[in-house]
Amino acid sequence: MFSAILKRSFTLLVGSGSAALINLLTIPLLISHWGMNGYGVYVTLFAVAATATAIFSLQPWQTVIRYWYSADEARQNDLLRQAIILDFFTCTLGSVIFAFTSDYFLTLVGLPKEYDSALKIQALSIFLSQAGFPVAYLRISDKFGAQATAQYVSAGVRLTSCLIIHFLSPSFLIDIFLLMLPAIVQNLVLWLAALLCLREGKHSINFSNKSIDRAFFSYSAWINFKTILDLPINQLDKIIISRYLGVEATALYELLKKLGQIFSMVAQALSQVSFPVLAKRVSSGEGKTAFRSAIRFARLGLFATVGATGVLLIVTHLFNVQEISIKGSHLSIAVLCSYVFISLSSNSFIFVNVLFMSMGYIKKDTFIMILASSAYLALLAATIQRWQLQAVMLSLAAQVVIVVASKLMIISRSLSFDRPHTLS
């Protein structure tokens, strides 16, 4: 099963890999133009906007996939309709609220009022984040090439935007708008591809009914709540670092996260392809087989994690490298190695995470994230001023252990294994 998923993930992997590489290449352009402090301000502003998007946008693509395979054609059409309507109302409401409360967010992260306009225009990105329908329909239809194309186009737009910023030096407000364009263009390409796919297929959407049924809204709301609980690890960490350690430390941490995106691009591609596959397998009673395969993949991932981290430690020790200097800012090798180990370890359990969602455990997943995020924030608050970025690494490690251990235990008990399925 997973060999087939790997093959189908290749197209997405190439697309996300190319996009990640181009994104990495654009970072030196931005740092050269703005300096580390300016880059840290940009990272903080976009973290705030991404946080607002996660809060206000329900992004119901997971709900569509969750119910798709047990629905007849009429119900499938209705699922697509509800995804579009729910996205429109929540994203519109979110963009309006964000535009009127941007000054509060600036105060929260400790940035001066001069950046208010740069933050306000990002309300547009919230409105245009309505990708629930295209993402769901393209994945269900196995149109992963279209998603890869959207990633290529987005990466090309980002590279063009960064070259304009670097060489033409427009105002910071225009800079922010140019850097919003990649995500906006990517969503527009996804919409175009999904509409073309819809036209070629058997499905259709009728908007004569504007209602959202309770089950669809409830599942989407739980997904959204879980996304909000993921914010401490995905976005709020940068906001906290900006507030307590300054924008320079935020810039360094963002560079680490960009490195992590390279590690996670394989996991993201596998997740996108495997969710519909595992949802279908669970529906047909093949959960145990899927879980055993997920454990085998996790073992291989952990083995590779130990090897990669060990090589990095040996190389830096041989060359007596204790820190990396970037435009006058210094990143310790200890922090770098810690992040590499945690990031790779977390991604090793990608199939466990996807299987958990495929089994419909959205409420359990939410409670796990409440526990994990609470532990993350408590540890970070207690240690960040003393240990600085290493405190973030400790908090991330605790979060990963809580999430993985909880899901392994719940899946094992649910599938009625004689004993907990361990990695040994």
**Is residue 163 pLDDT above 90, yes or no?**
yes
**Is residue 418 pLDDT above 60, yes or no?**
no
pTM tops 0.85: no
- Across the range 77-82, mean pLDDT stands at 93
- Across the range 315-334, mean pLDDT stands at 84
Residue pLDDT, tens place only, 336-360:
999 999 999 999 998 898 899 888 7
How sure is the predictor about 279, in pLDDT bands with cuts at 50, 70 and 90?
Answer: confident
- Across the range 173-184, mean pLDDT stands at 92
**Is residue 424 pLDDT above 60, yes or no?**
no
More confident residue, 265 or 71: 71
121: amino acid identity, one letter: I
How sure is the predictor about 303, in pLDDT bands with cuts at 50, 70 and 90?
Answer: very high
**Is residue 166 pLDDT above 80, yes or no?**
yes
Instruction: Return the pLDDT at 148.
Output: 82
- What is the sign of the dihedral through the CA atoms of 276, 281, 284 and 287? negative
More confident residue, 201 or 33: 33
How sure is the predictor about 229, in pLDDT bands with cuts at 50, 70 and 90?
Answer: confident
**Distance of alpha carbon 377 from alpha carbon 388, whole angstroms:** 14
**325 φ, ψ (degrees, to nearest 5):** -100, 130
- Across the range 8-28, mean pLDDT stands at 71
**Distance of alpha carbon 49 from alpha carbon 120, whole angstroms:** 9
2: amino acid identity, one letter: F
Flag the least confident range among 13-27, 73-87, 276-290.
Answer: 13-27
Residue 195 tokens read as: 């509409």
More confident residue, 409 or 109: 409
**Is residue 261 pLDDT above 80, yes or no?**
no
- Across the range 386-406, mean pLDDT stands at 92
How sure is the predictor about 329, in pLDDT bands with cuts at 50, 70 and 90?
Answer: confident
Flag the least confident range among 130-144, 245-259, 276-290, 304-318.
Answer: 276-290
Instruction: Return the pLDDT at 367.
Output: 87
**Is residue 296 pLDDT above 70, yes or no?**
yes
**330 φ, ψ (degrees, to nearest 5):** -125, 125
Instruction: Return the pLDDT at 242.
Output: 82
How sure is the predictor about 421, in pLDDT bands with cuts at 50, 70 and 90?
Answer: very low
Instruction: Return the pLDDT at 179.
Output: 93
Instruction: Return the pLDDT at 247.
Output: 83
- Across the range 109-136, mean pLDDT stands at 88
Instruction: Return the pLDDT at 83.
Output: 93
**Is residue 224 pLDDT above 90, yes or no?**
no
Instruction: Return the pLDDT at 15.
Output: 62
Nearest residue to 132 (alpha-carbon basis) of 43, 27, 57: 57
